Amino acid sequence: METETDSGDRREEKFELECGYCRHRQPARPRSTVCPECGKPFLVRYRERETDLRELTSGGRGMWRFRELLPLRDGEEPVTLLEGDTPCLPVPTVGEDLGVDLYVKDEGRNPTGSFKDRGLSAAVTRAAADGVPGLVIPSAGNAGAALSAYGARAGLPVRVYIPEDTPEGVERRCRRFGSDVVTVDGLITDCGDLAAEYAEETGAFNVSTLQEPYRIEGKKTMMLEIVEALGGPPDAMVYPTGGGTGLIASWKVLNELEELGVIDDAHTRLYSVQSEGCAPIVRAWREGREEAETWTDAETDAFGLRVPSALGDFLILRALRQSGGGAVAVPDREMEDAADELGAREGVNAVIEGGGTLAAARRLRASGEIEAGESVVLFNTANLLVY
C-alpha cells in the first residue's frame, strides 16, 4: 500500500482509511475524523502482514501485544495502562441450563473497570501522536472515565459531557483522573452536540463514538483474545449495543483474520442486545432496514444502552446481516435479574448491560437461533463497582 504524504513524498504506510459507507479511501492524516465525502465513519485498512497469529503479537502484556493489527507506526509507543488480557471465563452452571458451551468475556477487569479502556487507549495513542492540544467526549457512562484516565496518562486536558442522571460513580472517576466534567439536562445525543461545539471552539479533538477511526481498532482486541482463548472463533457472540463499536470491531477483525489465513472462516454469528426502552437497532433489524431511525423518549437503567441513534448504525446492521446473527430487545428487569444470576451462580460481577446478554441468549436459545452444544460468548462490559 503506497500513500502520498502532504510533502509529496511517497512511502509505504502500515494503514490507511476507508469510509465504511461510500468506500472513499485516503491516507491516515493527523486528526482524521469522518469521511469528507459522506460524513460516515472511517475504518482502518492495513497492508498485508504475517499470517500466523503468534507472529502478530509482540509478547508481553495487554492489548498492544497485537500491535501488528493496531494503528501504531514503527517507532511509536502506545498510551497504555496495560488494558486487555481479560478472561474469557467459562460459566458451566448457567451454560448447562442453556445446553451450550457458555463463556463470559469479562471486561470489568480493565484498568478503569470497563471495555471502554481498549478503544480509548487506541484513540488517545493516535491523537497524542498527532499532537492534539486536548480531548473531549460525550459519555453515558464508562467512556468518560476511560478517556479521563488515558488523557491523564498522555498529559492531555480532557472535557467530558455526561447526562445529569449518569451514575455518580462515573462522574467521580472522571474528576479523579483530572477531567473537566459538564453535566447536561438531556441524553447522550445532547452531550454529543455540546462536545462537537466545544471541539469547534477550542480545537480539542472529539473522540466521540465513531467520530474518529481508532476506537474500533482498540475494541477489536476483545475478539482477538477470544480467538486465542478458544482456539478459534465462537459459534455465537451476544453483545450489548449502544454505539456498537465493539460489535463492529469484532466483525471487522474476524474478517481480517480470515483474509490473513489465521482462521478458515469468520463464522461467528453476532447478536445485538438492547433494552426495550431504547432499541433502535433491534427495530431496524426487524424491519429489514439498512439504517436505524432515532429512538424517541429513550428510557432505560442500562446507561450504556441509552443511545437513541448511532453514527455506525449501518455498520452494526451490516455486521449482523453478514454474520447470520440478529438483534434482540429485553426489558430492564430481565437484564437485572440475569446480572444477579451471573453473580449468584457463577461469581461474575456483571453490570446490567452484561446481564442483558444472558437474557438475550436465553431468548435466542428458545427460538432456536442458538443451537444445543454451540460455543457462545457473552460480553460483560464493565465491573458493577464502577457505578
Q: Which CATH number fits domain 88-114+216-386: 2.40.128.110, 3.90.870.10, 3.30.70.20, 3.40.50.1100?
A: 3.40.50.1100
Half-sphere exposure of 24 (CA within 13 A, CB side): 13
Q: What is the pLDDT of residues 30-75, one digit of tens each?
A: 999 999 999 999 999 998 765 555 566 766 789 999 988 999 998 9
Q: What is the pLDDT of residue 58?
A: 67
Q: How far apart are CA 236 and CA 220, in angstroms?
A: 16
DSSP state for residue 312 in the 8-state scheme: T
* List of E strands, the chain: 2-4, 10-12, 15-19, 25-27, 42-46, 88-90, 101-106, 135-138, 158-163, 180-184, 205-206, 236-240, 269-275, 326-330, 375-380
pLDDT < 70 positions in the chain = 1-12, 49-56, 58-59
**Domain ranges within the chain, ordered by starting residue:** 2-69, 88-114+216-386, 116-206
Q: 300: closest CA among 181, 200, 168, 165?
A: 165
pLDDT tens for 35-45 read 999 999 999 99
User: Pairing relation of β-strands 88-90 and 42-46?
Assistant: unpaired
| Burial zone of 20 (CB within 10 Å; 0-12 exposed, 13-18 middle, 19+ buried) | buried
Phi–psi pair at 90, nearest 5 degrees? -65, 140
What confidence tens digit (pLDDT) does each residue in 89-135 have?
A: 999 999 999 999 999 999 999 999 999 999 999 999 999 999 999 99
What pLDDT is stored for residue 56 in this prediction? 66
* 116-206 and 88-114+216-386 share a CATH fold: yes
pLDDT of residue 60: 75
**What fold characterizes domain 116-206?**
Rossmann fold (3.40.50)
Single-letter residue type at 292: A
| H or E element at residue 149 | helix 142-154
